[in-house]
Structure 1
Amino acid sequence: MTRLLVVGGINMDYVFEAPCLPRTGETLGGQSFRRASGGKGADQAVAATRLGAEAWLVGCTGDDAEGRELLGRLRAEGVRTDHVATTADAPTGAAAVFACQGESAIAVVPGANHRLSAAHVRAAEPLFGRSDLVLAELGIPLAAALEAAELAHRHGKPFLLTPSPAGAIPPELARRVHLFLANEHELMAGFGDGESDWRALLARWPGRIVVTRGGEGAAHVDAQGTLHEQPAFRVPVIDTTGAGDAFAAALAVHWALGIPRAMRLACAVAALAVRGFGSQSTLPTQRELQDFLERADS
Structure 2
Amino acid sequence: MKLSNTKPHIVIVGSSSIDLVLKTSKIPTANDTVLAHSLKSFLGGKGANQAIATSRLGAQAYLISRVGMDPFGQQVLRNLKDEDVNVAYVVEDEDEDTGTAYVTASDEGNAITVVPAANYNVSPKDIDAAEKYFLTADLILTQLEIPMKTVEYLFRKAKKLGKKIGIYAAPASRLSDDIVDYASFIVAKSTDLEIIFGKGSHDDIIKHLPNKLFVRDGANSTSYFDGSEMKYFRNNPQTEAHSMGLGDAFTSGFSIALLHKNPIEDCVKFGNEVALKAADYRGSQKGLPYIEDFQK
Q: TM-score, normalised by structure 2?
A: 0.92
The alignment status of 1:208 with 2:183, answered yes or no, reads no
- Would the alpha carbon gap of residues 285 and 37 (structure 1) be closer, same or farther in structure 2, given more than 3 Å must change? same
- Structure 1 runs (4+) greater than 6 angstroms displaced: none
Distance in 1 between residues matched to 2:56 and 2:83, nearest whole Å: 8
2:109 counterpart (63, 86, 103): 103
The alignment status of 1:228 with 2:234, answered yes or no, reads no
Distance in 1 between residues matched to 2:181 and 2:59, nearest whole Å: 27
The alignment status of 1:10 with 2:20, answered yes or no, reads no
In 1, are the aligned partners of 2:223 and 2:233 still within 8 Å (CA)?
yes
Distance in 2 between residues matched to 1:290 and 1:188, nearest whole Å: 39
Sequence identity percentage: 28
Distance in 1 between residues matched to 2:149 and 2:198, nearest whole Å: 24
What SS does structure 2 have at the residue aligned with 1:31? strand
Distance in 1 between residues matched to 2:142 and 2:220, nearest whole Å: 24
1:60 counterpart (63, 66, 71): 66
Distance in 2 between residues matched to 1:247 and 1:110, nearest whole Å: 23
Per the alignment, residue 144 of structure 1 pairs with: 150
Per the alignment, residue 4 of structure 2 pairs with: none
Where structure 1 has 5 or more consecutive residues not aligned to the other structure, the ranges are 292-298
The alignment status of 1:282 with 2:296, answered yes or no, reads no
After TM superposition, the structure 1 stretch with the greater mean CA deviation from structure 2, 121-130 or 150-159, is: 150-159
What is the deviation of 1:235? 2.5
Distance in 2 between residues matched to 1:200 and 1:17, nearest whole Å: 38
Question: Which letter maps to 2:276?
Answer: A
What is the deviation of 1:172? 3.2
What SS does structure 2 have at the residue aligned with 1:180? strand
What SS does structure 1 have at the residue aligned with 2:25? coil
What is the deviation of 1:107? 0.5
Mapping 1:19-34, distance limit 5 Å: 19-34=25-40
- Would the alpha carbon gap of residues 269 and 75 (structure 1) be closer, same or farther in structure 2, given more than 3 Å must change? same
After TM superposition, the structure 1 stretch with the greater mean CA deviation from structure 2, 199-208 or 41-50, is: 199-208
In 1, are the aligned partners of 2:17 and 2:99 still within 8 Å (CA)?
yes
- Would the alpha carbon gap of residues 277 and 50 (structure 1) be closer, same or farther in structure 2, given more than 3 Å must change? same
Per the alignment, residue 135 of structure 1 pairs with: 141
1:254 counterpart (237, 253, 257): 257
In 1, are the aligned partners of 2:24 and 2:106 still within 8 Å (CA)?
yes
What is the deviation of 1:72? 0.7
In 1, are the aligned partners of 2:174 and 2:198 still within 8 Å (CA)?
no
Distance in 1 between residues matched to 2:283 and 2:66, nearest whole Å: 21
What is the deviation of 1:290? 4.5
Mapping 1:58-207, distance limit 5 Å: 58-101=64-107, 103-193=109-199, 195-196=200-201, 198-207=202-211
Superposition CA RMSD, Å:
1.7
Question: Which letter maps to 1:286?
Answer: I
Distance in 2 between residues matched to 1:261 and 1:102, nearest whole Å: 32
Q: TM-score, normalised by structure 1?
A: 0.91
Per the alignment, residue 47 of structure 2 pairs with: 41
What SS does structure 1 have at the residue aligned with 2:254? helix
Distance in 2 between residues matched to 1:31 and 1:249, nearest whole Å: 32
2:274 counterpart (269, 283, 286): 269
Distance in 2 between residues matched to 1:36 and 1:114, nearest whole Å: 20
1:5-60 CA distances to partner (integer Å, 9 max, x unpaired)?
A: 11100111111111222222222222221111100000111111111111111111
Distance in 1 between residues matched to 2:28 and 2:69, nearest whole Å: 32
What is the deviation of 1:92? 0.7
What is the deviation of 1:285? 1.3
Matched positions, count: 288
Distance in 1 between residues matched to 2:22 and 2:49, nearest whole Å: 19
- Would the alpha carbon gap of residues 216 and 96 (structure 1) be closer, same or farther in structure 2, given more than 3 Å must change? closer
What is the deviation of 1:216? 5.9
Where structure 2 has 5 or more consecutive residues not aligned to the other structure, the ranges are 1-6
Distance in 1 between residues matched to 2:221 and 2:142, nearest whole Å: 22
Distance in 2 between residues matched to 1:39 and 1:129, nearest whole Å: 25
Question: Which letter maps to 2:182?
Answer: R
Distance in 2 between residues matched to 1:38 and 1:283, nearest whole Å: 12
